[in-house]
Amino acid sequence: MFRNKYTLKFNHEADRKWYVDLPNWPFSHHNLMMVAGADDLCAFLSDDDESVTVEVIPSRSPLDLEGYTELCQKDCGLTTGSTYDVVNLDGFKRDIWLCPVTLFVLGHYPKYLYIKKAA
């Protein structure tokens, strides 16, 4: 069974790239790099800081969650990741791609993701 909410931390590391912070990740660190818009989203949410913590709620159907930004799945493949349209985040105007590490974290590629910067 999938959890309802995840709290994920992202760090802007010495190589000037963004990585999700997964201490129990059993594979190469470079696999945790945010690319293809996910890095831009981390930078946008961080307000130019070196890290950002984000609350993530996956869903199979649309939800009305105040304070959350909706990401709507455009396409996906088990080994190719999933592309999401960032629906309602003022000032952020691009799709993001999430790699198969998403399967390690969430267990699946949700049709909808709801995100907000944690307080």
- The string of pLDDT tens digits covering residues 41-90 is 999 999 878 999 999 999 999 998 999 999 999 998 878 899 999 998 99
Asked whether residue 1 is domain-assigned, the answer is no
Supply the pLDDT for residue 48: 78
pLDDT at 3 over 80: no
How many structural domains comprise the chain? Answer: 1
**Rounded CA separation 99/83 (Å):** 9
Owning domain of residue 20:
6-117
Say if pTM beats, i.e. exceeds, 0.85. Answer: yes
Q: Which residue has the tokens 């799945």?
A: 73
Asked whether residue 88 is domain-assigned, the answer is yes
b/e 71-87 (16+ beta carbons within 10 angstroms → b): bbeeebeeeebbbbebe
